[in-house]
Structures are given as C-alpha cells and as structure tokens.
Structure 1
C-alpha cells in the first residue's frame, strides 16, 4: 500500500505530529506499507527508510505554498491513500482516499497567533461565537477540510466532540489514543543519579516544561506563578518565537535566576530530564492528547496540567498528577505550593502507571492500521 504522508512538521522537529509519525511509520512499514513523507523544513531528508521531502523555509510564503501544493498533487497521483496530519496545508483536490488526523483547531490557533481574538479565548467557546469575516473564513475552511475526509482520526474524546461540532458525520470520526513511544522507558538511573548526570542539585526542587515556545503553551503562566514557590527552579526545554517574551517575563517577575531555558533538546534525552524533575508541567490553553504528559508518566514522573482539552483524559487529579483551572494564576500558584509540600510528589509518582494501559503503543498501531485499510478497501 503506497501512502502519502502530508504534514506541516516532521522529525527532527519538536511537536506531537512529528514525534507520532516518526515512531508510527516504521511500525506500519512492517505491515506492508510504503510511505512518502511531505513536510516543511530544512533538516536532512536521508536515513529514514522511506522517502522524505521537505519544502524549505528559505523562500517566501507564496513560493512555499505553491511548491507544497505542486508536490502534493504529484505524489498523491502516485499513491493509493493519503494520510494528512496537519489541517490547513495547501492541498489541491485529488481523487484519492483521504484520512485526516486532527489534534487541534487550526482556526482557533491561527486567530490567536494573529491577534484576531483575545489571548484567553476559550477553545470550546470559540466554536460557538460569531466572529469577524476573516476568522469565520478560517472556521469554514477547516470544517470543509474535515468533512471532505473519508475518515478522521482524533486522539481524545474532547477532540471527537469538537470535530463533530463541525458537522462531520460521527461515523467518520475514530478515537485512537496517542501512546508513549515504544522505546521510551524509565531510565535505569534513580532521580538522584539523573540529577547528578545533568549537574542539578540533588536536594533541589525542579519543575520541567517541555514543548514549543508559543503563547498557547502557557509557559508565561508558569513563570509568573514561580514567585509563589521561592525554592523551585523552572527548566524550560524547547524553542520557538515566544522565547524573547518569556525571558522578559522572567525578568519582570523577578524569577530570572530560577528559570533556565535549555533550547531545543533532542527527544532521546528527554526521558533523563523527566526522570530528574519533580514534576512535568503543561499549563497550555488546550491539548489534543499530550505526548509530553504520557511520556512523563511513562518514566514515573507526576504531572501538573491545565484542566483543558484532552488533559483530564490522562491526568487523574490527586492520583497521578494535578489538574489546574486555566487561566487562573491563584489556582496555579496554589497547585505549585501543594505539589511541593511534604510527601505529595512521592504519593503521585507511586501512581504514575495507573490508567496508562489505555495508551498502548501496540493498540495505536493496530487501530491505525485497521483504519487506513478500511478506507482503502471501501467499494
């Protein structure tokens, strides 16, 4: 089966879709699939075991758009099936079976990035509100794109409900939970040994934030809340256009000495960071189903997360982590104070494996394989 993978990002880029595809494609190759990946970027394309093409960022946006659309049409013509992993790509209409994975609302993200809506606009409320014509256009576009797919894969119940609100027939939407990478295991090192390897203080208190540095990921709120826990250090693993703003925010809040920006960290090193941390924190405006939360729990580290999107499907409040209302600075400060009070971390860490059987890599591969074949085999 020849499958075109169309995505905005791909390994070694950071982000859920890049991580997901990089791990998934070899597993499906073993089941007889042949892949060709088309994405944006400038990283090398060799060494994947399947063709990878990247449309370079070293050209104007219109040039990138035209090149992507042209290559998409050419590669689609040579494929049996198309599996799209990013909404809003320049994809000319082709008469081929189409599966679409949706991990968020492209219209909401675009409106936030361009300042068309307030930074604290709730994703669920955004679905129902009346908007200016340019915002309404993006809403209509993503809904049309979703309705044109033969099948839609979503990684959370929250997203299934969201996408069904775009007038997509429910029978076309399939829930397949994300899962930690099959090779990801808790390091054999203890937390103390991991800290020693990283040069962290053995008796320090560390909060780890992982992800792209964009506004909706909420690192600015973690920085602001840090004043409530004077002895805690925030380690930020990731890069993005929001970094200068975050550095300024740390200075303004008087916590710059306790915030360390690591920049982009190779994914292979992430489990060591997670093992060394007391908590992994994701205080984002929304999440489809966070790979970072799953990976943290997989290595035995409890989590602190916004009670948004798919996060409550992973985090059992007071069991394997803490869920915090968003945006709510006093609640976040109180959650951090509680998290670093005596005995709480150890109790939550002891339960890190509870409920993780729902997020099985083998199940993800089997269900994705079945979904793709079902679309291809339709009369």
Structure 2
C-alpha cells in the first residue's frame, strides 16, 4: 500500500457526537493516517466542527428523503475519489461508482433495533429469535433489506465471534467476515483510589455489598431482572448508572427494596470508572451485547463482573475466572449466582484474575489488525 491510497469513511454519526461508532472512528482514523491512508469522512451532522487532520463533511439531519438526497449527492464524487470505502451503518445512500471495494463494520442488528423502536416487535423480543422467526411485514422488509446490503459488501468487520455468526446467518459468505475485537482507549486511566477511598469519595457505605450496573435503561438491558433477583438476596445494594425510558417502571419495581436500589442517572465517564472501583461487582444482565465496553472497563479497573451468557459476553467473561456468567433469562439462576458471589472469598478470587485475557483488547492490536485488513482489499 502506498501513501496515495484514499479511504472514504461513510458513517451516520461522528465525533463530537456521543456513541460507540463516533468514538471508535475518532480514535481509529489518526492511526490509519500513520499507516499511509488519505482519509475523508462523510457523516450526518447539524454543524461543522473543525480541527481534524482529515476532511470531514457533514450532511444536516433534515427530513428523511431530502437527507438521503443530500448525502448521496455528496458521496458520489467521494466514491469516484476513493480507493476503498469503509462504511459504518447500513441504509447509507452509497449509490454511485463501484470501482472501490466496500467494507462494512457491523456492531449490531439495525433491523432488530428498528423493529423494537418502531413497536413492530415487543421490547423484550430476543435478538437471536428475531433472526429466525417471522414477524410483521415491516420487520421482515427491514430484515431482508439489511441482509441484502451486507451481502453486497466486499468485506465485513465485526467486533465479536457472536456477531460473525449472526452476519453469516444473513447469507454473507464466511470468508468475507473478519472479527476484530474493539479495544479500550490507550488514554484510559485506572482510578488511583482504593475501593475504600472510592466509596468515601462517592459517599457510599463502606460495609455494604455493592453491585453496579451501567446501561441505558431499555427493556433488553435486564435491569428489572437484577432488581427482582435482589429481593431474594439480603443486604446487597444495587447502583444503577444510566437513564432511559424504562426508569419509571424500574423505580416502581424497586420501591419494595427499602432503599437498596439507587438510581444515579447519567454519570460522567471518569466517575463511572470510580464507581466501578467502589463496587464489589459490575453486573450486565442484558439480552443483547455485541461486545460490551462496560465489561472491558470493569475488568480493566480490577472489578469482577456478573453477566448474562448472551451475545459477545462469553468472549469477555471467563466463567469463574474473571467473572460469572448467568443464563438469560433465568432469574432463579441469577439469584443463586448473586448469593454465591457475595459469600466466602469468591470476590477476592475473581478480582485477582480480572486481567486474564485482556491482551485481546489492547488498542495497538486493534489498530494493527484493522490496518492490515483494510490494506488487504488493495492487494
């Protein structure tokens, strides 16, 4: 690959907006420049932001048909300019020149997300069942459309083996799908405080068993199951960091626990790490995770985790080594796991192994793997 190779990054969201894809690209692209890529970014966005070492063009989020038209008009000359297209969502209007190979990063199932958001399926619909079961006409249309777009790509990058299996289930050839694990950012710093000091700083009780969950409060995040299980687990307090549409229902469900569930609302990221240090465990009992940064960050901080066995969680959590995996949905099993987690020296043993397997999620490894894989399309 020479320094003249030109990479078009087509996305729907970009820095400084919040969200995993925006943050991922913001950290990745300067590293790809060091590998010789000339980069241009096309994204949706309502205001120009300067200061990037590459060109960023933003398309205003006007009403949908006009938004697609503006995006496609902007992308056409970029498609002719590029040697490779790296797309970060389906449904982008990349209509035009096809001389450059196209690679798509898939971090979830946009058809399932849209079906849940639009009310075409229940908010608790299992994402794995969604792949094989038939639903409404609208849901099936978006499932077919998503699969067609992904199959048309020259390559697909996913952040977990779980998502690789899902994408292959859409009819994508297995040899097209590459797993590159997401990584913790190199600038991430562990809290310097001890667990005792962290609890003091956060005004948390020193002697209470503490469980922390960090999530947007939606139905598939499973916070309701944690609260239900806690009714059978004495003395343990649950800290809930995050907000979302389920919060009123969750607060009502927790009302009988006599102040043992604490809703923190949205917490700044640097404070989340401090809460992780203060907690005995971080719990993520969700029905879907592609590859959870929350689990990675908790293990990096040194706090063991309790997670559902869904999605990419088993690729991060090694049962009874650095955490505990629990079948989903099985509130009885979750209750038993929580009881065992806070008894004896279980926590101490798990905490001693939180570093186990973390080398797979080093930032440098992700950069090298991504750069090499993208370059392979130009060989």
Instruction: Say yes or no: TM over 0.5.
Output: yes
| CA positional deviation for 1:53 | 4.5
**1:72-118 Cα distance to aligned partner (Å, 9 max, x none):** 44544443322112233343344232111111222222222223223
1:187–1:275 contact (8 Å) kept in structure 2: yes
2:339 to 337, 340, 347: 337
Q: Which residue of 1 aligns with 2:202?
A: 198
Which of 345, 352, 364 in structure 1 is aligned with 2:366? Answer: 364
**Match of residue 156 from structure 2:** 152
SS in 2 for 1:46: coil
Which residue of structure 2 lines up, in the alignment, with residue 111 of structure 1? 115
Does 2:252 match 1:251? Answer: yes
Q: How far 1:60 moved relative to its partner? A: 3.5
Distance 2:254 2:241 in 1: 20
Which structure is larger by alpha-carbon Rg, 1 or 2? 2
Please tell me whether the aligned partners of residues 7 and 37 of structure 2 are also in contact (alpha carbons under 8 angstroms): yes
Say if 2:78 is the partner of 1:86: no
| Residue of structure 2 in register with 1:71 after alignment | 74
Aligned residue number for residue 179 of structure 1: 183
Rounded Cα–Cα distance in structure 2 between residues aligned with 1:187 and 1:315: 22
Larger deviation, residues 325-334 vs 343-352: 325-334
Displacement of 1:14 in angstroms is 4.4
| Structure 1: runs of 5 or more not aligned | none
Cα contact 2:224–2:253 (8 A) shared by 1:
no
Alpha-carbon distance, 1:231 to partner: 3.0
Q: Which shifted more, 253-262 or 128-137?
A: 253-262
Question: Does structure 1 residue 17 correspond to structure 2 residue 27?
Answer: no
Out of 303, 306, 310, the residue aligned to residue 304 of structure 1 is 306
* CA deviation after TM superposition for structure 1 residue 36, in Å: 3.3
Match of 2:131 in 1: 127
Cα shift readout 1:31-50 (whole Å, capped 9, x = no counterpart): 22343334445587334443
**Where does residue 35 of structure 1 map in the other structure?**
39
User: What is the TM-score when the length of structure 2 is the normalising length?
Assistant: 0.88
By how many angstroms is 1:290 displaced?
Answer: 1.3
Instruction: Report the Cα distance in structure 2 between the residues aligned to 1:220 and 1:232, rounded to whole angstroms.
Output: 15
For residues 49 and 274 of structure 1, what CA distance do their matches in structure 2 show?
A: 34
SS in 2 for 1:228: coil
After TM superposition, give the deviation of residue 7 of structure 1 in Å.
Answer: 2.8
In 2, the alpha carbon distance for the partners of 1:259 and 1:93 equals 53
For residue 61 of structure 1, report the CA deviation from its aligned partner. Answer: 4.1
Shift of the 204–35 alpha-carbon distance from structure 1 to 2, 3 Å rule, reads farther
Cα pair 2:110 2:146 within 8 Å, conserved = yes
1:184–1:271 contact (8 Å) kept in structure 2: no
In structure 2, distance between residues paired with 1:38 and 1:265: 30
The equivalent residue for 1:140 is 144
1:267-278 map, 5 Å? 267-278=269-280
Q: CA deviation at 1:263?
A: 3.7
**Distance change >3 Å, CA 190–CA 227, structure 1 → 2:** same
- Deviations along 1:132-173, whole A, 9 cap, x unmatched? 322221111111111111111111111111111112111111
- 8 Å contact from structure 2 (residues 223, 250) kept in 1: no
Superposed CA deviations along residues 208-267 of structure 1, whole A, max 9, x for unmatched, are: 222333332223333333323353333333344x2xx32332223314844444444343
Cα distance in 1 for partners of 2:317, 2:169 equals 25
Q: Deviations over 1:3-55 (max 9, x none)?
A: 23233333454443233223222322222234333444558733444344455
Q: Using the alignment, how far apart are the partners of 2:254 and 2:263 within structure 1?
A: 16
Alignment TM-score, normalising by the size of structure 1: 0.88
Supply the distance in 1 between the matched residues of 2:285 and 2:49 (Cα, whole angstroms). Answer: 33
Distance 1:33 1:102 in 2: 22
Q: 1:349 to 1:265 in 2, by over 3 A?
A: same
SS in 1 for 2:274: helix
Query: Per-residue deviation at 1:351?
Result: 0.8
Cα distance change on mapping 1:363 and 1:130 into 2, 3 Å: same
